[in-house]
Amino acid sequence: MNHLNIIIITGLSGSGKTTAMAALEDNGYYCVDNLPVELLPKFLELPIEERNSELAGLGFVMDLREKSFVSKHESILGGLRRKGYPYEILFLEADDRTLLHRYKATRRQHPLAKGQGIAAAIQAEKELLKPLRAACDRIIDTSAFNVHELKAHIADIAAKTKNYGSMQINVLSFGFKYGIPQDADLIIDVRFLPNPHFVPRLKPLDGANRKIRDFVLGKKISRDFLDRYLDLLDFLVPHYEREGKAHLTIAVGCTGGRHRSVVIASQVSDHIAEAGRQVAVLHRDISQG
C-alpha cells in the first residue's frame, strides 16, 4: 500500500486529534485510532486498497495512550520511510490554558494524570513528546481553532497530499563522452566501477547482456555502491513527492553509456518498480560504437 497517502496524527492530549481524524475520514481516508506503532508495518501490508479503489489515503492517530510509541516510533517509522512509504506526521498542540479548559469542559482523564493534577500532567507530556515534536513534518497549534476551523485546516492538508505517490520517475543511462542529459534531476557517475570495456570478450556486448550484468554486479564495490545509492533514493523520492514534483529523472553515467551505466540504471529502475512506483528506464547511448 505504498501508493496510498499516509498521515499520522500525534501530539498533546486534548489538542484535537480526534477532530483531525474525523476530518481525514470526511476526505476519504481510512483511519485507525490508537494503533500500536509496532503493528503499522503489518497493517500497511493488508490489501485495503484493492478492496476500495476510491480510498484517498490512510490516517493513524498515535500518542501516549500506546506506551511504547515514544520509544519505538523513530525506528519503525524510519524503516517505512526507507521502504518508500510516503507519510506525513502532524503534531497537534495547544497552550496550557486551552488544554486545561478543554479537560475541564469534557471531564476526560489525562493519560498521565494519575497521582498528579492535569496541569502537571500536561507539562510531563510536553517533556516526553519533545523529541517526537522535533521530528514531525508539521506542527499545528490548535489553541485558536474551534472544531469546524480545525476540521477545515486538516481537510486542506489532506487535499494537498492527494497527489503523493503519482510522480513519474525516469531512469536514464548515458555516456559522459556524449554529453550530460540536460533534463536530469539527479546524476550519478559510475565510472569508478570496473569496466567491461577492457575485457576483450566482453567489449562487444552491452549492459543488457547477462555476461555484462554478471561482471559488473559480481564486483563487491558495485554491490556496496548500490546498497548505499538505493538507500539514498529511498530517502529522497518521498521528499520529492511531498514537494509536489510531477517528474523525476535519475541519470546514471559511465564513459560510453554502453556497459556500467546500463547495468546500474536497470538495477535502480527495478528497485523503484519493486516499491510500487511509476518508473521507466531508457538507455540513451547503448547503441553508440
pTM above 0.85, yes or no: no
Q: What is the pLDDT of residue 162?
A: 56
Q: What is the pLDDT of residue 186?
A: 96
Q: Where are the beta strands (DSSP E) in the chain?
A: 5-11, 29-33, 57-61, 87-93, 138-141, 168-175, 186-189, 247-254, 279-283
Kindly state whether residue 289 falls inside one of the protein's structural domains: no
Cα distances from 267 to residues 25, 84, 195, in angstroms, run 38, 16, 17
Q: What is the pLDDT of residue 247?
A: 85
Tens of pLDDT, residue by residue over 192-247, are 999 999 999 999 999 999 999 999 999 999 999 999 999 999 999 988 877 667 78
Identify whether residues 246 and 224 lie together within a single domain.
yes
Whether the predicted pLDDT of 118 surpasses 60: yes
The total number of structural domains in the chain stands at: 2
Q: What is the pLDDT of residue 201?
A: 94
Phi, psi angles (nearest 5°) of residue 20:
-65, -40
Tens of pLDDT, residue by residue over 148-188, are 899 988 988 887 665 444 678 999 999 999 999 988 999 99
Identify whether residues 121 and 36 lie together within a single domain.
yes
Tens of pLDDT, residue by residue over 28-74, are 899 999 999 999 999 988 877 555 656 788 999 999 888 788 888 88
Kindly state whether residue 254 falls inside one of the protein's structural domains: yes
Closest CA to 30 of 62, 11, 58: 58
Identify whether residues 180 and 47 lie together within a single domain.
no
Which burial class, exposed, middle or buried, applies to 84 when counting CB atoms under 10 A from its CB (0-12, 13-18, 19+)? buried
Identify whether residues 153 and 231 lie together within a single domain.
no
Q: Which residues contact 106 (CB under 8 A, 6 or more apart)?
A: 14
Express as a percent the part of the chain with pLDDT over 90: 56
Q: What is the pLDDT of residue 2?
A: 55
Range of the domain at 118: 5-160
Q: What is the 3-state secondary structure (H, E, C) of 152-203?
A: HHHHHHHHHCCCCCCCEEEEEEEEHHHCCCCCCCEEEECCCCCCHHHCCCCC
Kindly state whether residue 204 falls inside one of the protein's structural domains: yes
Q: What is the pLDDT of residue 163?
A: 46
Give me the chain's average pLDDT, please. Answer: 88
Identify whether residues 156 and 217 lie together within a single domain.
no
Identify whether residues 187 and 142 lie together within a single domain.
no
Kindly state whether residue 288 falls inside one of the protein's structural domains: no
What CATH number has the domain bearing residue 73?
A: 3.40.50.300
Identify whether residues 37 and 137 lie together within a single domain.
yes
Q: Do the beta carbons of residue 66 and residue 37 sit within 8 Å?
A: yes
